[in-house]
Structure 1
Amino acid sequence: MRWFSGVVGIDQGSRILFSDFAHDGAMWTGSGPREVRQEQKFGEPFLSPPVVTVSISMWDIANQTNSRVDITAENTTATGFEIVFRTWADTRIARIRADWLAIGTIRDEEDWDVDVP
């Protein structure tokens, strides 16, 4: 368990990562290891990198093969992170929507800085 000093802030969002069936993209027509990365900025920066969770909120996957998927947040900073989606082998994915939630410390409106000479 972690304890935060300061004010805890939450940011969240949802986005379509790709729609590869529409243009015969690699996730739909390819095979083997494939990856999509999308940068996501926070509405307001945190004081330090927050804890970020990413989940799949919609998937459109062909049913002729196994569904092999991995989704995660990587390269998290105080201002944003990357949503990383991976698949492999013969899995065919038409589209994916990802939801994310970030929790971390934010600046309190009562915080103030003192310049010390």
Structure 2
Amino acid sequence: MQIIQASDELFNHVDAGLPMWSSDGDRMVRLNIAFRVTFADVPLINLGLTGVDSAHDQNLRFWLRAADVTPQGFSIEFSTWGDTHIARAAVSWQAVGEAYTKLPPSAVRGSRGNGELAP
């Protein structure tokens, strides 16, 4: 079993006047995550919102999701719409799955390493 996790600020748009804070309508921030260690198969991704700073005079609307999950990585998508203004958001994530291990043929039970089955 392999577990990889991290936590950090996803975006900070208030200081730079970027779209999550200064625009209206449909908006999205996407962050690509590449695992340093590959999984054997597509891992389970757990996402959590650990902080949000938003304007108080509009409704707080957002979706947080993991997209394009592969054994090598995934993308975090944070989207909002309408007149919601979000200055900052922070997330934590965890990837859980089987570790990728490439065994030599001789390490596989019942094999001589040359394609023949051992007795």
TM-score range relative to shorter protein? 0.7 to 0.9
User: In the TM superposition, what is the alpha-carbon distance from 1:112 to its structure 2 partner?
Assistant: 2.3
Establish whether residue 25 from structure 1 lines up as the match of residue 2 from structure 2: no
Note the residue ranges of structure 1 that are not aligned, 5 or more in a row.
Answer: 1-7
Task: Pick one of 71, 75, 78 that aligns with 2:64.
Answer: 71
TM superposition outliers: structure 1 runs of 4+ over 4 Å: none
TM-score by length of structure 1 reads 0.86
Report the equivalent of 1:81.
Answer: 74
Provide the rounded CA distance (Å) in 1 between the counterparts of 2:100 and 2:28.
35
C-alpha contact (below 8 Å) 1:53/1:101 kept by paired residues: yes
Q: Which is higher, the Rg of structure 1 or of structure 2?
A: 2
Report the equivalent of 1:100.
Answer: 93
User: In the TM superposition, what is the alpha-carbon distance from 1:15 to its structure 2 partner?
Assistant: 2.3
Select the structure with the greater relative contact order (CA < 8 A; seq sep ≥ 6): 1
RMSD: 1.4
Find the residue that maps to 1:28 and give its secondary structure: helix
User: In the TM superposition, what is the alpha-carbon distance from 1:29 to its structure 2 partner?
Assistant: 0.7
Percent of aligned positions with the same letter in both sequences? 31
How many residue pairs were aligned? 108
Report the equivalent of 1:59.
Answer: 52
User: In the TM superposition, what is the alpha-carbon distance from 1:19 to its structure 2 partner?
Assistant: 0.6
